Chain A
Amino acid sequence: MTDATKQRLAPWIATAALFLVWELACRVFGVPEFILPTPSASFAALFEFFDAVMFNASFTLWVTLVGFAIAVVFGLALGVLVGASALTYAALYPILIGFNAIPKVAIVPILVIWFGIGAVPAILTAFLISFFPIVVNVATGIATLEPELKDVLRSLGARPMDILLKVGLPRSMPYFFASLKVAVTLAFVGSIISETIAGNRGIGYLMMQASSSFRVPLVFAGLIVVAVMGVGMYAVFAYIERRMTGWAFRGQA
């Protein structure tokens, strides 16, 4: 087996091993199902309620991606604004840090008061929780322009807009795409938090319902589906990152 094949197989084997250990531990120690169900019981629940799970999961996926899309547009714009000048950086950075420190769980009830129960609070929570890394990364990419290059550009009489478009933005793209991977998984956290607290649809709502009726294997089925969606989205954006900013990987691949 070549090293490349080993690399490709490793994550699958590690995941399978995780499920195996989990299964064995539950059986050996006789853990009751309402505390920690075995993975086989969780998968059984997943197939038993397959339609309901898929219906709610696709709703969550949709909500998450809408919130995430808003976060991308907003995060990119704000990141450019923050990174573009020392003044906006000084002005906005503390606000951003402060805002990021607020637990988004605390915001959901407010959103529900404003927008009612449903998709909107979940979209907004997904957005609020995921835009921060995008802003920080884009701003960092723009603000960390090499001082030597800045001197070269200034002495050419380059306009700030040109510097931003020709150097700042392209330079921040690897940071931007790297942040998307993180942000999209955070967006799932946001939408599911919101659905759990105040939803009438979605995988978070389903898990809430299942746990209040002590169908713990179904809760775990929900968790597994969430994890799979998270990994899937991460993989999609990791792929996009490689495609878009291959130059940043210096032909290591």
Chain B
Amino acid sequence: MSFIGIEDVSLRYGGADGTLAVQDCTLAIERGEFVALVGPSGCGKSTLLKMVSGLELPSAGSVYLDGHEVAGPQHGIGIAFQNATLLPWRTTLDNVLLPLEVSREYRASFRRNRAEHVERARGLLRTVGLDEFREHAPYQLSGGMQQRANLCRALIHEPDLLLLDEPFAALDAFTREELWGVLQQLFMDRRFTVILVTHDLRESVYLADTVHVVSKRPGRIVKSRRIELPRPRTLEMTFEPGFVDIVHELRDAISEIRAS
């Protein structure tokens, strides 16, 4: 059985005549796999993420996570959105530590061994190049730095699954490409499972093991493309023909969906 099984899942928002966001969607994700979801705007990608995390429950069908059916908010998950939502009154380090203070699994251990957890948080911050900014307030960080801190916050409780909803969409092209590298490094070091929602096809091909293309609303998976490029992938690779061909292939698939 797969790590994540989405089986014939549908979700309708707001009662019987509400929006049908996802319909009969089926998708399997292996442990340690990096999956990207791409598709037209409003097609239900964020909704799929919410169903995997248990923040929304499907109207029909089932989602399985690690062998159990998802029936409510799941705890071993890290989430990061486009909006970093760091708490402005906390330093970067304290923002990264927030999950440990409130999480069911960690709160007791955090109180007992604070120093140890702080060390772990600093390790993460070091990996993303933010350790010297740990005492800075969020407003003193650039957008890219805030997003790095956001990634650390999503990973501090060592989740098995990382859900990313357009985390780099608000960043400029250079910063975005820098963060691809950061995320890939974290992924290779820790080997969690990732579902990344993105509008950037180069980003999806650079980062993912499998890119799934979602249809127009109501969302279903209409195409799945394995990306066999070796890791670590580099920015130079994104200009090589093999890489560019995959991006074009995905782009064609999405144009077709949009035209239909």
Contacts and interface: CB of A to CB of B under 8 A. Distances in A.
B170 to A, nearest CB: 12
B55 A151 contact: yes
Contacts of A6: none
B101 A155 contact: no
B54 interface: yes
Interface in A148-172: 148-149, 151-159, 162-163, 166-167, 170-171
B216 interface: no
Sorting the interface of chain B by its residue count into under 10, 10 to 19, 20 to 34 or 35 or more gives 20 to 34
Interface stretch (A60-68, A75-83, A243-251): A243-251
Contact of B79 (A155, A157, A162, A166): A155
A162 B111 CA distance: 14
Interface string B149-172: 000011001000000000000000
A146 B139 CA distance: 17
B83 A153 contact: no
B137 A155 contact: no
Interface stretch (B15-23, B37-45, B85-93, B198-206): B85-93
A158 B83 contact: no
Contacts of A153: 102
Interface string A88-122: 00000000000000000000000000000000000
Contact of A155 (B75, B85, B105, B139): B75
Contacts, number: 66
Nearest to A151: B55
A155 B102 contact: no
B234 interface: no
Interface in B112-151: 137, 139-140
Contacts of A167: 87
A180 B98 CA distance: 29
Nearest to A249: B139
Given A148-B81, A166-B101, A155 B53 contact: yes
Contacts of B137: 247
Nearest to A162: B102
Given A155-B74, A157-B75, A166 B98 contact: yes
A88 to B, nearest CB: 22
Given A151-B53, A156-B75, A170 B87 contact: yes
Contacts of A157: 73, 75, 102-105
Nearest to B138: A247
A191 B122 CA distance: 54
A170 B98 CA distance: 14
A156 B89 contact: no
B219 interface: no
Given A156-B157, A157-B104, A157-B105, A247 B74 contact: no
A212 B153 CA distance: 68
Contacts of A156: 75, 99, 102-104, 157
Given A152-B79, A166-B98, A247-B137, A158 B85 contact: no
B9 interface: no
Given A155-B54, A155-B55, A247-B88, 18 more contacts: A146-B83, A146-B85, A148-B81, A148-B85, A151-B50, A151-B53, A152-B80, A152-B99, A156-B102, A156-B104, A156-B157, A157-B73, A158-B103, A166-B101, A170-B89, A171-B87, A247-B89, A248-B88
Which 6 residue pairs are nearest across A and B when measured between Cβ atoms? A158-B102, A157-B104, A149-B85, A148-B81, A156-B103, A247-B89
